[in-house]
């Protein structure tokens, strides 16, 4: 254990963490380049070549030039995914049909409680609605 002091172990862990952080940032920028609809194919290719061939300079220039748009594109994508998910849930659950049935049943119950329809008429209308 005397061959590898505690400070060297700490520095090794720090460099490993920075190395992983660097690759995370690099992949994040590559994903942002490919996802951006405002860039043409040539612009995407140019940014990709710049980021891959000169990674440090390319990443820093990209963050300076287009960093504010990265957050906006993330928010837009998250909203789009949330809307698609909510639409899927509404479609799968049949919320639109379910609400109209519930509303109809509540109207029938209100009519019955007001005495506008009899219990027999209520049961027939309920069976017809649920069928």
Q: How is residue 124 annotated by DSSP?
A: H
In a domain, 18, yes or no: yes
Output phi, psi for 71, to 5 deg: -65, -40
In a domain, 28, yes or no: yes
Domain count, the chain: 1
In a domain, 97, yes or no: no
In a domain, 92, yes or no: no
In a domain, 93, yes or no: no
Nearest Cα residue to 130 out of 107, 101, 93: 101
In a domain, 36, yes or no: yes
Domain residues for the domain of 3 are 1-67
Average model confidence (pLDDT) for the chain? 87
* CA distance to 63, 99, 105, 114, per residue, from 118 (Å): 72, 24, 15, 10
In a domain, 46, yes or no: yes
Q: Per-residue pLDDT for 21 more than 90?
A: yes
Got the DSSP string for 51-92? HHHSHHHHHHHHHHHHHHHHHHHHHHHHHHHHHHHHHHHHHH
Of 7-21, 57-71, 73-87, 88-102, the range with the lowest mean pLDDT is 88-102
pLDDT in tens, 25-82: 999 999 999 988 888 999 999 999 999 999 889 999 999 999 888 989 889 999 999 9
* CA distance to 5, 63, 112, 116, 131, per residue, from 104 (Å): 77, 56, 12, 15, 13
pLDDT bin (cut points 50, 70, 90) of residue 111 is confident
* Bigger pLDDT: 65 vs 93: 65
In a domain, 100, yes or no: no
pLDDT of residue 99: 59
Q: Per-residue pLDDT for 95 more than 80?
A: no
């Amino acid at each position: 254990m005397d061959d590898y002091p505690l400070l060297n172990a700490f520095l090794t862990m720090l460099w490993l963490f920075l190395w992983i952080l660097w690759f995370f940032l690099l992949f994040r920028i590559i994903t942002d380049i490919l996802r951006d609809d405002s860039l043409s194919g040539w612009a995407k290719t140019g940014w990709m070549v710049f980021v891959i061939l000169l990674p440090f300079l390319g990443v820093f220039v990209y963050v300076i030039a287009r960093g504010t748009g990265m957050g906006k594109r993330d928010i837009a994508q998250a909203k789009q995914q949330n809307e698609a998910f909510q639409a899927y849930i509404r479609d799968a659950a049949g919320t639109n049909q379910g609400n109209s049935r519930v509303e109809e049943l509540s109207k029938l119950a209100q009519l019955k409680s007001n005495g506008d329809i009899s219990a027999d008429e209520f049961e027939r209308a309920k069976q017809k609605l649920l069928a």
